[in-house]
Chains A and B, each alone.
Chain A
Amino acid sequence: MKAYVIRRVLELIPTALIIVLGSFALVRLAPGSPFSSEKEIPPEVRRQLDAKYGFDKPLPEQFLRYLGNLLRGDLGPSTKYPQRSVNEIIGDGFPVSLTLAGVALVWSLLVGVTAGIIGAVRQNTIWDHAAMGAALVGISIPSFVLGPLLVLIFALRLHLLPPAGWGDWRHVILPGLTLGTIYAASIARLTRGGMLEVVRSDFIRTARAKGLSERLVIWRHMLRGGLLPVVSYLGPAIASMLTGSVVVEKIFNVPGIGPYFVDAAFNRDYFLVMGIVLLYAFFLLLLNLVVDVAYGFLDPRIEYP
């Protein structure tokens, strides 16, 4: 097992390199330049700016310089915000986005798994239909519809929670719920599906034939196998939550990374775009590794070569 983990981490390195190269190429492919936006800049100034950031050098050289800096942990400067480095911007924004995603994750797991278990155990009863109906609604309402709706109800009409901003725990609730509900719905359906698969299996019949109570059958025998699909879903789900926070952050005015990214892409703020993409990419790669390993822990039949 340990050998497997080490091997996977090592494999990350060539993957990471390819990602850096790919993102670099992709970002620089875009027509236009960071300085071609609003005002007309005299070519003199333009050349100075290019030199300052090293944009006048040939691309491969720029890439190597970038790689070198990257390995030292320096993500470069921002062209849109000359006062701040990419490291600073990300350092400010990423923890916020992470917190938001975290809240969404907790919410989606709590609600999703519970609803899924209820649906599976009380299959085809009113509880099941209610739970799955709610789940279906949850998947169908996009965050940018749900967000304003929640704001309308809880902030503007009931005055229970703040409509936007970021400061204390109350600011986290509405954005977190908005972000997490879609995933809660998916998790509910996956849990129910997974549990139902397990319910049909022979070993559950055996467990019942042994005279175990329904509660024991569910908790000890069904959950392990039933939750497996949820675990493998968590990888892409968390990834999606992190990137989906882009929209939620816009709605609720949360100072995360999302809004920065869209602007950076538009403004051709190369270093900032690259920084964000790389950050998320590496985070996701690591996440996938963690999920794979966790899966191995849960299903003893999986052998790691």
Chain B
Amino acid sequence: MPVADTVLSVHDLRTFFRTDDGIVRAVDGVSFSVRRGETLGIVGESGSGKSVACLSALGLVPRPPAFHPSGEVRYGGRDLLALSERELEHLRGNRLAMIFQDPLTSLNPYLRVSRQLTEVLEVHRGASRVEARRAAMTMLERVGIPDPARRIDQYPHQFSGGMRQRVMIAMALLCEPEVLFADEPTTALDVTIQAQILELIAELRHSLGTAVVLITHDLGVVAGSTDRVAVMYAGRIVETGPTAAVFAQPQHPYTRGLLASTPRIDTPPGSRLEAIPGLPPDLAHLPAGCPFHPRCSQAVDRCRTEYPAVIALSMVHSAACWAVEAPQ
């Protein structure tokens, strides 16, 4: 449903991997969209497909062994999945950017930070080395790196974890992209640094108008930093809506389970955290029907045979579950 100001929209994306164990359905029919200046959170456990979905959007999943039996990623009036590698290279780092979870391994340890920053501008803006360096230093300052003139010539291992992530952010935003994918940007960091990084992203989003897709498994991050949220399980989105609404009235049993198992400050002392029973599914051998049904306390017969239809609870909030009643 095209909404005004939608910058990127993903329709029915499927990413499968051919492995020796069979076909792994990492992303199995995912649709979402982001608008200018908004933050969409994609939350789920590891293996839920959230990272693969975003990597697929940028064409960063190696094909083979991956392939896309269906799906469309619309950006700028074109389907990204249909573009050539050359055209995608044009967009990546330029109009669509991505930052990753572990800044230590995600930055090239053999190159100076200056090189890794300037090359983005040199490639996408045709800037000279000198101009690019100046712009990079400005950006470093903007993301909060002290003494940028000296630090820009250092190597990644000479920065602390939080600083490295700031460098990654600087690198991603140098060309002022329209969409920023952030794959667990704070998971590898200390809690206090986490907050700083999230604040930085929010502030930059505000000033640049970038749409942010924030991938995380941490509900706390979702609660504080996102406008809308999509909950993923076994390669599909099981619930999506405005963050406040989903948190206040979670519809899908999985979402409820996630929220119930997250410690909150207002949880009465002495009460137990409820874990979701069972194990995450084997993506090469998914059960029939709803993939969550083996662990679901509200499963009915239909859940075992048919994948649930998407029930809309409001214009903006929907969940895929047979146990949810559509409002009249």
Contacts and interface: CB of A to CB of B under 8 A. Distances in A.
A–B in direct contact per CB < 8 Å: yes
Contact of A300 (B94, B110, B119): B110
B111 A224 contact: yes
B91 A209 contact: no
Contacts of A300: 109-110, 155, 157
A195 to B, nearest CB: 13
Given A212-B89, A300-B155, A202 B105 contact: yes
Nearest to B171: A210
B120 interface: yes
Interface residues of B, number: 30
Contacts of B119: 210, 212, 216, 220
B105 A201 contact: yes
Interface stretch (B36-44, B95-103, B252-260): B95-103
A213 B100 contact: no
Contact of B123 (A209, A212, A214, A221): A212
A298 B109 CA distance: 10
For chain A, the bracket of interface size reads 20 to 34
Majority secondary structure of chain A interface residues (helix, strand, loop or mixed):
helix
Contacts of A82: none
Interface in A211-233: 211-214, 216, 220-221, 224-225
A202 B115 CA distance: 17
A301 B119 CA distance: 21
Contacts of B93: 209-212
A229 to B, nearest CB: 14
Given A220-B111, A224-B110, A298-B110, A208 B92 contact: yes
Contacts of B106: 202-203, 205-206
Contacts of B90: 211
A206 B107 contact: yes
Contacts of B91: 211
- Give me the 9 closest cross-chain CB pairs, A-B, nearest first: A211-B92, A210-B93, A211-B93, A224-B110, A202-B105, A203-B108, A202-B106, A209-B98, A300-B155
Given A203-B106, A211-B94, 10 more contacts: A206-B106, A208-B60, A209-B58, A210-B92, A211-B89, A211-B90, A211-B120, A211-B124, A212-B119, A225-B108
14 contacts: A202-B102, A203-B109, A206-B100, A206-B107, A209-B92, A209-B93, A209-B98, A210-B92, A211-B91, A211-B123, A212-B119, A221-B111, A299-B109, A300-B110
Interface of A: 201-203, 205-214, 216, 220-221, 224-225, 298-301
